[in-house]
Amino acid sequence: MASHGVPRSSTTVRTPQAIQADLLKIEAYNNLVSEVQALRFPSVQKSKHTYSPTSLSTTSSLLTQNPEFNTIWNFRRRIVLHLLLPTSSSSPTLKDDNDQENDKLSLLSSELNFLFPLLQKFPKCYWIWNYRVFILQTASTNLSLQTALKLWKSEMGLVNKMLSRDSRNFHGWGYRRYIVQNIETLQKDINKETTKEKEEGEGEEGVDGEEEEESLAEQEFAYTTTMYGKDLSNFSAWHNRSKLIPRVLSERGATIEERRTFLDGELGEMQTAVYTDPYDQSIQLYNHWLLLESCSSKQTTSTSPVFSLTNSQKLETLSRTLEWMRELLDEEPDCRLLLEEMIFVGSLFRDLDETEEEEDVDREEIKRDMQSWLEKLMEVDPMRGGRWREMQEKL
Amino acid sequence: MSISSPVAFTNNPDELFVKKHVKYIQSLDTRKDEFEYWLTEHLRLNGVYWGLTALHLLNDPTALPRDETINFVKSCQHPSGGFGAHPDHDAHLLYTLSAIQILAMVDALDAVDTAATVTYVAGLQKPSGVFAGDEWGEEDTRFVYTGLQTLKILDRLDAVDVEKAVGFVLACQNYDGGFGVVPGAESHSGQIFTCLGVLSLTNSLDRLSTASRDQLAGWLAQRQLPNGGLNGRPEKLEDVCYSWWVLSSLAMLGKLHWIDQNKLVGWILSCQDEVRGGFADRKGNAVDVFHTVFALCGLSLVGWGGLKEVDPVYCMPVETTKRLFGSK
Ligand SMILES: [Zn+2]
């Protein structure tokens, strides 16, 4: 009903044999659906079977065939929640806490294992990802913090695998940020507990282990470096990098000077990257972010700026950028992305206040250049001519 | 809503196979001997919405029997007020919006318990302003749109905290002007459509600065590839459904003229199955009703002759939104 990338079959009619085979498949599938639906809406006498391990395995068969059937995932959630209740234990004597924790862990782990091959087969199915998140959230509320943390941490292995298979998988990157967030929260809670225990002096030493670093910002920042190292054209990685930088710099306690050095490093990398592939939008967008964040005339009032450049430092950074872009334009005179970026840099420049040291920079010259770049854009990028014409009127 | 004037298609010899598309949509519920039909039960109610919208745009709104349609929608409502994709399926906002849109199009909103629907939708808003898709709590800017559009059609936006919902959407905007699923997530055309939809239907588009609107429209215009088709994110392939997310977003920003509409039309038309009707995601692929409606919406938005006008905010015929909200 909403298919992507499925080739159109050339034959218009199926053979009678093919229809027959389909009918058999349909019958088997519908029998399975009826079986699960009967479990969801049981008659009174059978109702105790609804939330049993057998029900769980019946839904497994159906979901393996059709993971898009979200109602069945919901039913599975209810079964799991029911099986986690202490009263569901068949033995009347209370198990000790440790056994209970182990039972819960083994149930939740087997759920995660069930999902793994499904995610590999259907990496874009929302419902499987949602269900996986549900299991992990359930672990956080049902298991000890340490055990839950272990489960969340092992998700990083899964997400690394997913992203090495498809480095732009939208779900993969969103899932990664979500996992990181949860690991950080759990670690924070654990550290809080450890500190409390130490303060209360109950210190059976070494029992709960050392406090660990709460923030994964540096690790995630390094991951984006690895990812764009493999493929410069990975916008998802550049995007994540732009989101991580403010945190990384503040956690490093970076001074204004150190931030400027960091910025220069990034801008230098971008210069190399744009030279490598001036036709790549991912790189241009990240470069765009760096310049917007550092050289815009508007001071962001709500949050503290990531890079605090003085007006003359901004002007200097922008003219340096324009300089290498002009050189590259000589080699690639028809590159529309480069032309667009140069117009952007030019307009940032013209928005800034003039300074006294600015003798050798001619604002009029930049304006004239911008006009000629726009002319060129209209010639090489007629598709977006409406936009360029509008820009020209505003210039 | 500023939509630039229709383009002249004189230099485009391609044809839209209206009758075949109508037939294709009518045939969808007769395919019970195909396995795919049974595997897609979880999309049945959405499918009715997609098909019905397409038929309205094709100027053949009664090609699906009205009474059957209404009865089917009724059979999908839960006591909670929400709708499932099919009887015996759980309720979700995605289906609830489709149900309400279908009833709005056939002018039969009084056929179901809409007061209960309002309670259901309002109950899914979270303290941050975002909406969960259902009782299990997945949060996504898509659900802010589906929740608010449902309430807007039912004229009950007062049942939720609109300001907080708008605030959440604004927090999802990135430096490239686009919007993601949640704050911090990468920009994506589908999400941009839903976020601009929220801002439009709550009359808060002016909460975005002119600079950020231009930045966003520029990003959207970059989605057009040399063959005329549009992709959903940088360095991805073109797709008919993304053409709609991108195009409707440009329309909401009043910048449809920032892309080459003639080329887009030619590309969309090339995705038709000219023998059996329907549109695919790309030329030569299998057709489905999802891509069929978004292809037609795209063509309608750039003023293809003979198609009814589509409303870029609600993804319903303008005739319907005018009846609901009056002319703006
Ligand atoms: Zn598509």
Q: Where are the domains of chain A?
A: 254-395
**Cross-chain Cβ contact B290/A384 below 8 Å:** no
Q: Is B185 on the interface with A (CB under 8 A)?
A: yes
Confidence at residue B13, expressed as pLDDT on a 0 to 100 scale? 52
Q: In chain B, helix, strand, coil percent, each to 5?
A: 50, 5, 40
Residue B8 lies in a domain: no
Residue B5 lies in a domain: no
Q: Which residue has the tokens 């199926």?
A: A14
Sign of torsion, CA B270 B271 B272 B274?
positive
User: Which residue in A8, A33, A235 is closest to B284 by CB distance?
Assistant: A8
- Name the more confident of A307 and A356: A307
Instruction: Tell me the mean pLDDT in the region B26-50.
Output: 94
Confidence at residue A44, expressed as pLDDT on a 0 to 100 scale? 57
- Name the more confident of B242 and B255: B255
Q: How many whole angstroms from B287 Cα to the centroid of ligand 1?
A: 10
- Among A188-197, A201-210, A255-264, B103-112, where is mean pLDDT lowest? A201-210
Residue of chain B minimizing CA distance to A344: B215
Q: Which domain holds residue B77?
A: 18-325
Coil, helix or strand for A93?
Answer: coil
Q: Is the pLDDT of residue A303 over 70?
A: no
- Other beta carbons within 10 angstroms of residue A122's beta carbon come to 15
The Cα A161–Cα A120 span in angstroms is 9
Q: Number of structural domains, chain B?
A: 1
CB of A84 closer than 8 Å to CB of A142: yes
- Other beta carbons within 10 angstroms of residue A228's beta carbon come to 23
User: Which residue in A30, A134, A383 is closest to B224 by CB distance?
Assistant: A383
ipTM of the complex: 0.92
Confidence at residue B7, expressed as pLDDT on a 0 to 100 scale? 40
Residue B246 lies in a domain: yes
The long-range contacts involving A268-274, CB below 8 angstroms and separated by at least 24 positions, are A271/A321, A271/A324, A273/A232, A274/A325, A274/A328, A274/A338
Confidence at residue A353, expressed as pLDDT on a 0 to 100 scale? 80
Q: Which residue has the tokens 């349609």?
A: B69
Tokens, residue B306: 């003979």
CATH tag for A254-395 (out of 1.25.40.120, 3.40.50.2000, 3.30.750.24, 2.30.30.140): 1.25.40.120
Q: Which of B175, B219, B242, B243 to mutate to test the interface with A (most CBs of A within 10 A)?
A: B175
**What b/e readout covers B7-32, taking b as 16+ CB neighbours within 10 angstroms?**
bebeeeeeebbbebbbebbbebeeee
The Cα B145–Cα B105 span in angstroms is 18
pTM of the model: 0.93
B276-321 per-position pLDDT tens digit: 999 999 999 999 999 999 999 999 999 898 899 999 999 999 999 9
Hey, which residues does B131 pair with through a beta bridge? B125
At A395, is the pLDDT very low, low, confident or very high (cuts 50, 70, 90)?
Answer: confident
Tokens, residue A244: 């991580």
Q: How many whole angstroms from B52 Cα to the centroid of ligand 1?
A: 19
Which 84-143 residues of chain B touch chain A by CB within 8 A? Answer: 84-85, 88-90, 92, 134, 136, 138
Sign of torsion, CA B236 B238 B242 B248?
positive
Indicate which CATH number applies to the domain containing B182.
1.50.10.20
d(CA A339, nearest CA chain B) in Å? 13
Tokens, residue B23: 């037939």
Which 276-335 residues of chain A touch chain B by CB within 8 A? Answer: 280-282, 285, 288-289, 292-293
Residue of chain B minimizing CA distance to A34: B88
Confidence at residue B9, expressed as pLDDT on a 0 to 100 scale? 40
The Cα B194–Cα B148 span in angstroms is 10
d(CA A371, nearest CA chain B) in Å? 18
User: Which residue in A68, A70, A386 is closest to B258 by CB distance?
Assistant: A386
Instruction: For residue B266, list chain A residues with Cβ-Cβ distance below 8 A.
Output: none
pLDDT averaged over every residue in chain B: 93
Which 14-73 residues of chain B touch chain A by CB within 8 A? Answer: 33-36, 38-43, 46-47
Confidence at residue A42, expressed as pLDDT on a 0 to 100 scale? 77
User: Which residue in B39, B134, B285 is closest to A66 by CB distance?
Assistant: B39
CB of B277 closer than 8 Å to CB of B17: yes
**Cross-chain Cβ contact A19/B233 below 8 Å:** no
Cα B217 versus chain centre, distance: 19
A188-221 per-position pLDDT tens digit: 999 998 888 888 875 555 445 556 788 999 999 9
Which 335-354 residues of chain A touch chain B by CB within 8 A? Answer: 340
Residue of chain B minimizing CA distance to A243: B184
Closest residue by Cα to residue B133 from B97, B92, B98: B92
Instruction: For residue A170, list chain B residues with Cβ-Cβ distance below 8 A.
Output: 186, 188, 233
Q: Is the pLDDT of residue A273 over 60?
A: yes
Q: How many whole angstroms from B64 Cα to the centroid of ligand 1?
A: 24
Q: Is the pLDDT of residue B134 over 60?
A: yes
The Cα B136–Cα A222 span in angstroms is 34
Confidence at residue B6, expressed as pLDDT on a 0 to 100 scale? 39
Q: How many whole angstroms from A251 Cα to the centroid of ligand 1?
A: 41
- Among A47-56, B42-51, B214-223, where is mean pLDDT lowest? A47-56
Confidence at residue A169, expressed as pLDDT on a 0 to 100 scale? 83
Question: How far lies A85's CA from each of A93, A346, B170, B301, in Å?
Answer: 15, 64, 41, 54
- In chain A, the percentage of residues whose pLDDT exceeds 90 is 70
Residue B179 lies in a domain: yes
Instruction: For residue A71, list chain B residues with Cβ-Cβ distance below 8 A.
Output: 42, 84-85, 88-90
The Cα B143–Cα B182 span in angstroms is 11
The helix or strand, by DSSP H or E, that contains position B323, with its residue range, turns out to be: helix B318-325
At B4, is the pLDDT very low, low, confident or very high (cuts 50, 70, 90)?
Answer: very low
Hey, which residues does B311 pair with through a beta bridge? B316
Confidence at residue A246, expressed as pLDDT on a 0 to 100 scale? 95
Q: Is the pLDDT of residue A89 over 70?
A: no
Residue B2 lies in a domain: no
Q: Is the pLDDT of residue B8 over 60?
A: no
The helix or strand, by DSSP H or E, that contains position A217, with its residue range, turns out to be: helix A217-230
Which 153-192 residues of chain A touch chain B by CB within 8 A? Answer: 168, 170, 173-174, 177
